Amino acid sequence: MKKIQYMFVIYAFAMLLAPSFAGAEEDAPDLLEMMKSRDASIKQIVNSETRGETPAERDSLKAVVGDLFDFKEFSRLALGRYWSERTEAEQVEFTNLCRQLIEKNYADPKLYTKSDRIDYIGSEVEDSKGIVKTVVYYKDEESSIHYKLHPVNGQWRVYDMVIDDLSVTRSNRSQFYKEIRKTSFDGLVNKLKKKLVDEKAPGEDKD
């Protein structure tokens, strides 16, 4: 099983975004079809002559990520019990940092050339929760990746992913708790900011 790194290193290949939210019976297959469509769009970008490395292509990948995630819910789950202790301004800042980290990982074209293939296993919708199940195959191993979704303003958004039975938000929460106990919430925020600066992609300006 691949080891999940400290901040949002996600081994996923597929992209998904359903246009609207209606009944469960209609939506389950729609989620799967939209995943395949989104994946095809990503492949078109990274399979270009420039391999998705131009600033415009990276921006296109980033735009896909922006449409994919519910960053606020993802951040809330990752921060856990400390979320309610934060002011609204602190929650906004933390969500923005998480968004930048997620976008950074997904805007890296190399992420999408690591896998050999992806199988779309199925999708389910129950009440206001959805899940899309995939298996990604690499040269010497495979990973199951399940996307947890819920509707936000009429569109399905990912609020967590389960990679080889390990929740990404829970994994990050464990690391966040350790940092907060070691330093403080401000210490965690400063560490995330430093990570963003230290890991700027080639050609990106460092603030």
> Which CATH topology does 24-198 take?
Nuclear Transport Factor 2; Chain: A, (3.10.450)
Question: What's the pLDDT score for residue 5?
Answer: 38
Domain boundaries, the chain: 24-198
Quote the tokens at residue 83: 């979320």
Contact predicate 163/136, CB 8 Å:
no
Strand partners of residue 157: 150
Q: Which residues, 6 or more positions from 176, have their beta carbon under 8 angstroms from its beta carbon? A: 78, 79, 80, 82, 188
Cα gap 30→17, rounded to integer Å: 9
Q: Could you tell me which of 75, 68, 69 has the C-alpha nearest to residue 97?
A: 75
Cα gap 21→52, rounded to integer Å: 31
pTM for this one? Answer: 0.80
Question: What's the pLDDT score for residue 10?
Answer: 39
Contact predicate 59/9, CB 8 Å:
no
Averaged pLDDT, groups of 10, the chain, 207 residues long: 39 34 51 79 86 88 85 98 98 96 81 81 90 90 93 91 95 97 97 86 50
Cα gap 183→166, rounded to integer Å: 26
User: Phi and psi of 157, rounded to 5°?
Assistant: -130, 145
